[in-house]
Amino acid sequence: MIYFDNAATSFPKPPEVFAAMTQFMAEAGGNPGRSGHRLATGAEAMIDNTRNAVSKFFGIGDPKRCIFTLNCTDALNMAIKGVLRTGDHAISSVLEHNSVNRPLQKAADDGEITLDRVGLDESGAWRVADVLAKVTPKTKLVAITHCANVLGVVCPVAELGQALRAKHPHVRLLVDAAQSAGVVPIDAEAMGIDFLAFPGHKGLFAPTGTGALLIGSRVKEDELRAWREGGTGGDSSSPHQPFELPYYLEGGTPNTMGIAGLLAGVTFLKKEGPNKVLAHERALQQRLIESLGADSRFTLYGTKDPPKKGGALSITIKDRDTAETASILDQAFEICVRPGLHCAPYTHKALGTFPTGTLRLSPGYFNTLDEADAVVAALQEIAS
Amino acid sequence: MADKLERYNRQILLPFIGEEGQKGIAASTAVVAGCGALGTVIANVLARAGVGKLRIIDRDFIEKSNLQRQVLFDEKDCAENLPKAAAAERKCRQINSEIEIEGIVTDINPANVEELIKGATVVVDGADNFETRFVLNDACVKHKIPWVYGAAVGSLGLTMTIIPEVTPCIRCIFETAPPPGMTPTCDTAGVLASVTGLIGNFEAAEALKICAGRTAEINKRLFQIDLWNGELHRFKIEKAREVADCPCCKRRNFEFLEGQGASTTTGLCGRNAVQINPKTGAKLDLAAMAKQLQGTSDITNLSVNKFLLKFNAPGGDEPKEGLEITVFPDARAIIKGTKKVAVARTAYAKYVGA
């Protein structure tokens, strides 16, 4: 079996990840912050360690500004619904996943906010100038992807973040790092990111059910509304959610076992070396782009320059249906890829691939060049 | 009372029914699970016999090719493109306005089956696929509701009656459903109206025995008839329950009800299509299947290669566009032209078999 669907979730996970989860479950499964006994404090310590590791990895100084979430969608909703107020203006792009599109569209349809979506350039990225051109005094939030899940093109987040801070300091920047976190280097404060949302289960090798929202230092607590409230373990006498990060946004018992896996995943990534991981993924991309790009039966979408790529490559095949091709790859070749719209309808409308979508090849760190060649050979056999 | 019973006079005259039996029939609830060739025959008999409450369930719509054998439907129903359950309800009301009749347009599946059979005195099989029968079997055994199995294809018919925990259940006889694509279906191999009529009537008689309180007199054999060859077999299955370590009625492990034995469906992202994922590890001979499908008159553009088998069939959300069905070697299929799971499952049951 060749797994080329790492943009959906990474597979396999490093053995360290499930070992850490099993160990936590078997030996240390208390409820963090809910008691003073050894298992509760042990779980609390594990969670604090993970907060430290994750915030450090992404360049956020204060680990209290690492909020654990269910996934990236949860983190994006927390930021979008937490920040936007009636009368605000928001800017997004056509490259976004529905986890950004839908919360914004609902708020716009309900008349609460106004919304602009910028288009994409020939490489498959949004342009900084297009975003800046849309900023008004009412603009509160730019919610935008770092590396889109259909095209896998790395977008100029640092340039945008720095420009926004210099020219429009009233605008907050929310970055959807679903595809880039763990793959492409991110230093949130240096890049001018105010909110960084990402899942644990993709580039960070953690299990599903994990994710985080990192909140930059210039964002004040009162800029955010908690959209999920409940018990935090501390200060139970108050009728209100404590106004203190991370608890302000973290009502309810967290996914402790998943967070144990997240810590192991980030530790694995640091041990392997993020540069090595990125170089390997780009080598795989390069192999796919060179082989498929040379064959006129395949159309490749987005830039063909591997240094500008994150994890995914979208293609279509002449006279072949994407859903059928994916089924054939699975059945006859034991290759797992994803066909369709990948929850990003506006991207496909911009590319002209709506509604049938594309075939997305997303190799990961554990794939080999031989596997990339096998995928190419299978696609060529199907195309002929 | 005498006036009310007059319409049932000829069956009350029967010594094994009588007034007592008729009262039982009137107090009963029968569920007709599937209303095609078998189900229309069953519903017709049970409505006329005065079963107090009749619940008719089917997911499909009437097509012209149904009229050859589905006795409750006529050309007008077909022109109106009515759901079978709705047309059957309407016709049965015309037949007998003194009983309660409810037509339900739905796909019988592990999630809804227990609600659908709730309160039933008997469940009668009019399904067109094995998977539904195994789901029905689990649900009926679990809730101890007697049910009558029946099936027909070509000129061959089969039936048996199941009294949970007393007689063998369907899984005592057939441990598991045959893999998709392995058995002929009425849409690929054809069916004789006489055999669906015969089996449907047989099933209805069994249901009436149960409703009339004559459960002891049910058919205790697996009954098989080939009407064209005139061959009749009555398999002795009385001991099957003792012999078989049945996962369903012995171990009460309801795999199909819990969804473990059932196929799943996936709506394809952005597409007007449903993917059906069978549970079995089947390996289909696509070329042989193509040969079988060639004789099916409503299929067009049939093509086959080593990867897939593809054809167009009528139906779907836009009837003018129809359905495009792609079958892969492991029996999974993509049904294009519908977003409705029930429509996709019907097409799968018809052309692939489930």
CA B340 to chain centre: 19
- Mean pLDDT across chain A: 94
Last residue of a domain, one of A231, A251, A271: A271
Domain that holds residue B134: 2-243
Residue B71 lies in a domain: yes
* Count of structural domains, chain A: 2
Residue B6 lies in a domain: yes
Domain count, chain B: 2
- pLDDT at res. B175: 78
For the segment B109-159, what is each residue's pLDDT rounded down to a tens digit?
A: 998 999 999 999 999 999 988 889 999 999 999 999 999 999 999 999 999
- The model's confidence at residue A9, banded by pLDDT at 50, 70 and 90, is very high
List residues of chain B with CB under 8 Å from any CB of chain A. Answer: 268-273, 275, 306-308, 326, 328-330, 332, 334
A7, part of any domain: no
Contact B271 A345 (CB under 8 A): no
d(CA A4, nearest CA chain B) in Å: 18
Q: Nearest CA of chain A to the CA of B272: how many Å?
A: 9
Domain membership of residue B253 (yes or no) is no
Each residue's pLDDT tens digit, B313-336: 988 888 788 999 999 888 889 999
**Cα(A6)–Cα(B317) distance, integer angstroms:** 34
Regarding whether B271 and B229 lie in a shared domain, the answer is: no
From B309's Cα to the closest Cα of chain A, the distance in A is 11
Asked if the model's pLDDT at residue B270 lies above 70, the reply is: no
Residue B255 in domain: no
Distance CA A117, CA A199 (A): 23
Last residue of a domain, one of A271, A292, A324: A271
Identify the residue with better confidence: A236 or A119.
A119
Tell me: pLDDT of B261 over 80: no
Closest chain B residue to A359, measured at CA: B269
- Kindly tell me if the per-residue pLDDT of B174 is higher than 70: yes
My answer on whether A264 and A289 are in the same domain is no
**Top-confidence range, A229-238, B13-22, B341-350:** B13-22
Residues in A touching B271 (Cβ below 8 Å): 323, 340, 355-357
Closest Cβ–Cβ partner in B269, B270, B308 for A328 = B308
- Phi and psi, residue A125, nearest 5°: -115, 160
Please tell me the least confidently modeled range out of A257-271, A316-330, B77-91, B337-351.
B337-351
**A327 in contact with B at a CB cutoff of 8 Å?**
yes
Please report the DSSP string for B60-115 in residue order: -B--GGGTTT-TT--HHHHHTT-BHHHHHHHHHHHH-TTSEEEEEE----TTTHHH
A35 contacts: CB under 8 Å, gap ≥ 6:
A41
pLDDT at A104 > cutoff 60: yes
If contacts are CB pairs under 8 Å, which of residues 31-90 in chain A contact chain B?
none
Q: What is the predicted pLDDT for the residue at B281? A: 67
Residues A159 and A239 in one domain: yes
Residue A8 lies in a domain: no
In a domain, B15, yes or no: yes
Please, which residues have CB within 8 angstroms of residue A384's CB and are 6 or more apart in sequence? A297
Chain-chain contact of A340 with B269 (C-beta, under 8 angstroms): yes
Buried b (16+ CB within 10 A) or exposed e, A99-133: bbbbbbbebbeeeebebbbbebeebbbbbbebbbe
Tokens of B298: 């409503």
Residue A82 backbone dihedrals phi, psi, to 5 degrees: -80, -30
Task: Name which of A323, A332, A343 is nearest B271 (Cβ-Cβ).
Answer: A323
- The answer as to whether A10 is a domain residue is no
pLDDT mean over A120-138: 96
Range of the domain at A64: 15-271
How far the first Cα of chain A sits from its last, in Å, is 22
For range B260-276, the mean pLDDT: 78
Question: Which of B213, B243, B273 is the last residue before a domain boundary?
Answer: B243
Q: Do A356 and B307 touch (CB under 8 A)?
A: no
The predicted-structure confidence for A221-275, as pLDDT tens digits, reads as follows 899 998 888 888 777 788 888 888 998 999 899 999 999 999 999 999 999 999 9
Q: Are B162 and B148 in contact (CB under 8 A)?
A: yes
Q: Do A327 and B268 touch (CB under 8 A)?
A: no
Q: Does residue B2 surpass a pLDDT of 70?
A: no
Of B329, B330, B334, the CB nearest to A323: B334
Between CA A18 and CA B165 the distance in angstroms is 44
Q: Closest partner residue to B268 among A323, A332, A354, by Cβ?
A: A323
With CB atoms and an 8 Å threshold, state whether A356 touches B271: yes
* A359 band by pLDDT with thresholds 50, 70 and 90: very high
Q: Residue B234's beta-bridge partner residues?
A: B223
* Residue of chain B whose alpha carbon sits nearest to that of A327: B328
| Domain identity same for B234 and B188 | yes
Pick B270's closest partner by Cβ from A324, A328, A355: A355
Q: A165: which residues sit within 8 A by CB, 6+ positions away?
A: A192
At residue B243, the pLDDT reads 85
CA gap A29, A257 in Å, rounded: 8
Q: Has residue A361 been placed in a domain? A: yes
- CATH of residue B168: 3.40.50.720
Residue A241 to chain B, least CA–CA distance (Å): 39
CB contacts of A324 in chain B (<8 Å) are: 308, 326, 334
Q: What is the ipTM of this complex?
A: 0.70
Contact B328 A345 (CB under 8 A): no
Chain B: residue nearest A381 by CA?
B307
Would you call B35 a catalytic residue per the annotation? no
Q: CATH number, domain at A88? A: 3.40.640.10
**Which residues lie below 8 Å from residue B290, measured CB to CB, with a gap of 6+?**
B302, B304, B309
Q: Phi, psi at residue A317, to the nearest 5°?
A: -120, 135
User: Considering only A6-20, A310-324, B30-44, which range has the smallest mean pLDDT?
Assistant: A310-324
Chain A residue with Cα closest to B308:
A328
pLDDT of residue B188: 81
Quick check: is B254 in a domain? no
Distance from the Cα of A23 to chain B's closest Cα (Å) equals: 30
Over residues B42-58, the pLDDT tens digits come to: 999 999 999 999 999 99
Contacts of B284 in chain A (CB under 8 A): none
d(C-alpha B189, C-alpha B153), whole Å: 7
Question: Where does a domain end: B191, B214, B243?
Answer: B243
* Measured distance between the N- and C-terminal CA atoms of chain B, rounded to whole angstroms: 47
- Residues B269 and B224 grouped into a single domain: no
Which strands make up the sheet holding A298-301, listed edge to edge? A298-301, A313-317, A358-361, A338-340
Q: Could you give the 3-state DSSP secondary structure of residue A89?
A: strand
Quick check: is B251 in a domain? no
Residues B212 and B299 in one domain: no
Residue B184 and residue B293 in one domain: no
Assign residue A351 the CATH number of its domain. Answer: 3.90.1150.10
Per DSSP, the residues of B27-44 read: T-EEEEE--SHHHHHHHH
d(CA B142, CA B249): 8
Inter-chain contact A323–B273, Cβ cutoff 8 Å? Answer: yes
Together in a domain, A301 and A220: no
Identify whether B250 is part of a domain. no
Q: Is residue A278 part of a domain?
A: yes
The C-alpha angle A246, A179, A257, rounded to 5 degrees, equals 45
The tokens for A69 are: 């979430």
Pair (B280, B342) in one structural domain? yes
Marked catalytic residue, from B35, B186, B211, B249: B186
Is the residue at A106 inside a domain?
yes
B346 and B227 both lie in a single domain: no
Q: What would the pLDDT profile of B189-200 be if each residue is shown by its tens digit?
A: 889 999 999 999
- pLDDT given for residue B20 in this prediction: 96
Instruction: Give Cβ neighbours of residue A258 (< 8 Å, ≥ 6 apart).
Output: A21, A200, A206, A207, A208, A209, A210
Q: Residue A163 pLDDT more than 90?
A: yes
Judged by average pLDDT, the poorest of A125-139, A332-346, B201-215 is A332-346
Per the CB < 8 Å rule, is B308 touching A339? no
Q: Do B269 and A343 touch (CB under 8 A)?
A: yes
Q: Residue A331 is nearest to which of B269, B275, B329, comparing CB atoms?
A: B329
Confidence of residue A102 (pLDDT cuts 50, 70, 90): very high
Q: d(Cα A69, Cα A76) in Å, to the nearest integer? A: 10
Asked which of B243, B272, B292 is the last residue of a domain, the reply is B243
- B217 DSSP assignment: G
Residues of A in contact with B268 (CB under 8 A): 323, 339-340
Given a contact cutoff of 8 angstroms between Cβ atoms, the answer to whether A90 and A113 are in contact is: yes
Please name the residue of chain A whose CA is at the shortest distance from the CA of residue B309.
Answer: A324
Residues A281 and A263 grouped into a single domain:
no
User: Which residue in chain A has the smallest CA separation from B330?
Assistant: A331
Residue in chain B nearest A339 by alpha carbon: B269
pLDDT at position A47 is: 94
Residue bearing the bigger pLDDT, B346 or B228: B228
Name the minimum distance, in Å, from the CA of B129 to any CA of chain A.
24
Is residue B236 domain-shared with residue B277, that is, in the same domain? no
User: At B298, which CATH number?
Assistant: 3.30.310
